[in-house]
Amino acid sequence: MRHTIFLIGYIYFLFIDLRKKEIDLTALIIYGIMAFFTISLTRNDITSERLIDMIFSIAFGLVVYLLSYFSNEGIGLADGMYFVINGFLLSLKENLILFLTGLIVAFVIGMFTFYMGKGNKNMRLPFMPCFLPAIVGYILCTV
């Protein structure tokens, strides 16, 4: 159930980020409430190992949020908040893979646009589409 909520949230944020190049706070709050509600519904399935993993995953999300804050939104504050909320739904390993895949894809796209002469120093790249390879790989591995 938690992966379903994650995928629904990701698809929504993907379209919003592509259209507006930003994620609104209201959608993040609703996503956070849904994540918390999902965890409260499945609390019988949470073992001590899962709880510790969830705490570390949330802490990783907080690190991403702080990195975003102190880098003048180099990643985006909403993206940092997205990883904090994902800490409730994803394991630390899944959250790390999602983040690192996003960084690699953003790097490749940024280098491509820079060398093709289409990018500049102040270019803004939506970060949510960069997670798509990790999401597709995850879906293909679990089906």
- Domain ranges in the chain are 2-142
The pair of three-digit structure tokens given for residue 95, joined into one six-digit string: 């959250």
Query: Would you state the pLDDT for residue 90?
Result: 86
- Report pLDDT for 39: 81
> Which residues, 6+ apart, have CB-to-CB distance to 12 below 8 Å?
27, 31
Low-confidence ranges of the chain (pLDDT < 70): 119-122, 142-143
CA dist., res. 38 & res. 7, Å (int):
13
For residues 108 and 27, what is the distance between their CA atoms, to the nearest angstrom?
29
Which long-range contacts does 111-116 make (Cβ < 8 Å, 24+ apart)? none
Q: pTM for this one?
A: 0.84
